[in-house]
Each structure stands twice: as C-alpha cells, then as structure tokens.
C-alpha cells in the first residue's frame, strides 16, 4: 500500500520499520517513555498546584515571616535553571530526607525515580503556580468575599465556594501555560538518567544511529501531547467562562 511512497522516499521504509511498535522496532520504547513523561508531568503539575495554592494563600494571608520565606522560594526557583535545581534536589533531596528520617528514628526510605521526578518538578512548578494563583486570587473583588462572610460562611467554605470558582477563569491561562512547561520540563530528567521520552529517544537513536528519525518522532509525540492538552484546557476555560460577564 505504501510502496509508491517508499519508492519516492527511500529512507522512509527504514524509518517506519525502526518506529514500529513491536521489536525490532523501537516505537514501543518511545511510547513507554511518553507514558512515563505524562505521569510525571501530571504528578508534578498536581503537586505544583498544591504548593501554589498554599503559597498563594501564604503570600496573601500569612504572617510577615511566611511571606518573606515564600518570596525567597519563588525568587530562587525562578532565577536558577531547572536543570541545576533538578540536580541539587535529585541528589541532595534523597540524602536530606533520609538523614532527617534517621534523626527521627525512622528507617530510611527509597525514593523511586518517578516520585523523585514528580517532587523535583513539582517544587519548581509550585513557585510559578504561587505567582499565577496569587494574581488570580487578588483579582477576585473583595465584595464577594465580604458578602459570603455576611452569609455566615467560614473561611474554608468561602475559599472553596467563592474564591476558587471566581479566580479559576483568571488563573486558567497561566495554569495551562504551566502545564505545557511541566510536560516539556520532564525532558530534563533525561540528564539524571530517568527513562522518560527524551532518554528513551536518545537510547534508541544511539543504538540505531537513526538520530533524525527518532528525534523527529519524539518531537511529534511531544507536540501531540501539548496540542491535545491545549485543546482540553481551552475547553475547560470556555466552560468556566460561561458564567462570567463579558469583559
């Protein structure tokens, strides 16, 4: 069926063979790597949101010490290259955690690559998420907050039922951007030897010397991930904006 295409483009048949999902093709490895990347990206994004929410609330409502510490956190993380943060956290993180556990009389734990990857990227994401969410929360009119209080809502309830729904549409573009950064930053874990998509690609390319084929294929996979998730975020944004007044 594809014969005429192969005749036109001699290298294509080899490339298709190399990318086939069953061995001797390396496509399966690439997909496994993409799955690992996706897991880490989702985990890191979720952890980042958690840290970001706590950070944003700390920056807005925390005491002076909390606020200053959070400022140090966001400034440092946003100024130091992710690669270096990953190296420091990846090696020192395990070390410190185990020393702390030992000091508390606990058994040292093993940190799997996935957990370490999620933790490291999550801490990086948290700093950016803090800023995005702080901006969004700040732009919720105070009146809404006060009205909710007048109705007798507690602060947790206000946060859950007023602040979050009101700030989400404002935060979504920034969050969708962060999600894209999370997917792409997983590639950096290749440098600490975690087998996600980029490292799998590098291994396949090195073993077969078909550098162009594999790097292009991996690029297509990343693009697929980012474009699809872009769609999903667009859809969520449209949904949440429905209730909002036109601006």
User: Using CB under 8 A, which residues numbered 64 to 123 contact another protein?
Assistant: 64-65, 68-69, 76, 78-85, 87-88, 90-92, 94-95, 98, 107-112, 115, 118-119
Binding of residue 10 to another protein (CB under 8 A): no
Q: Cα separations (Å) of 85 from 77, 185, 187?
A: 8, 12, 14
Q: Which C-beta is closer to another protein: that of 2 or that of 223?
A: 223
| Rounded CA separation 15/210 (Å) | 8
Q: Which stretch binds another protein (CB under 8 A): 1-9, 63-71, 134-142, 145-153?
A: 63-71
Minimum distance of another protein from residue 56's CB (angstroms):
10
76: left (phi over 0), alpha (psi -120 to 50) or beta: alpha
| Rounded CA separation 233/229 (Å) | 6
Minimum distance of another protein from residue 143's CB (angstroms):
23
Binding of residue 188 to another protein (CB under 8 A): yes
Binding of residue 227 to another protein (CB under 8 A): yes
Q: Which stretch binds another protein (CB under 8 A): 136-144, 165-173, 185-193, 235-243?
A: 185-193
Q: How many amino acids of this chain bind another protein (CB under 8 A)?
A: 77
Minimum distance of another protein from residue 34's CB (angstroms):
12
Q: Which 149-178 residues touch another protein, going by CB under 8 A?
A: 156, 159
Give CA angle at 60 (120, 67), nearest 5°.
60
Sign of the Cα pseudo-torsion (91, 95, 100, 105, in order): positive
| Rounded CA separation 82/172 (Å) | 23
Binding of residue 201 to another protein (CB under 8 A): yes
Binding of residue 2 to another protein (CB under 8 A): no
Cα–Cα nearest to 29, from 39, 21, 18? 21
Cα–Cα nearest to 122, from 9, 42, 28? 42
Q: Which C-beta is closer to another protein: that of 88 or that of 242?
A: 88
């Amino acid at each position: 069926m594809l014969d005429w295409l192969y005749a036109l483009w001699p290298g294509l048949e080899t490339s298709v063979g190399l990318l086939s999902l069953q061995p001797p093709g390396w496509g399966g490895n690439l997909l496994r790597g993409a799955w690992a990347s996706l897991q880490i990206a989702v985990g890191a994004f979720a952890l980042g949101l958690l840290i970001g929410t706590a950070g944003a609330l700390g920056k807005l409502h925390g005491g002076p010490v909390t606020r200053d510490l959070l400022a140090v956190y966001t400034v440092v993380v946003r100024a130091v290259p992710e690669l270096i943060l990953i190296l420091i956290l990846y090696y020192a993180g395990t070390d410190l955690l185990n020393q702390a556990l030992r000091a508390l009389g606990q058994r040292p734990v093993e940190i799997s690559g996935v957990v370490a990857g999620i933790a490291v990227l999550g801490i990086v994401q948290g700093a950016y998420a803090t800023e995005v969410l702080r901006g969004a929360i700040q732009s919720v009119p105070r009146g809404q907050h006060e009205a909710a209080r007048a109705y007798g809502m507690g602060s947790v309830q206000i946060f859950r039922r007023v602040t979050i729904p009101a700030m989400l549409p404002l935060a979504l573009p920034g969050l969708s951007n962060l999600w894209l950064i999370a997917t792409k930053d997983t590639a950096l874990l290749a440098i600490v030897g975690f087998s996600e998509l980029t490292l799998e690609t590098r291994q396949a390319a090195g073993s077969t010397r078909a550098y162009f084929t594999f790097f292009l294929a991996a690029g297509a996979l990343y693009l697929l991930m980012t474009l699809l998730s872009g769609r999903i975020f667009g859809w969520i944004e449209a949904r949440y904006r429905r209730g909002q007044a036109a601006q």
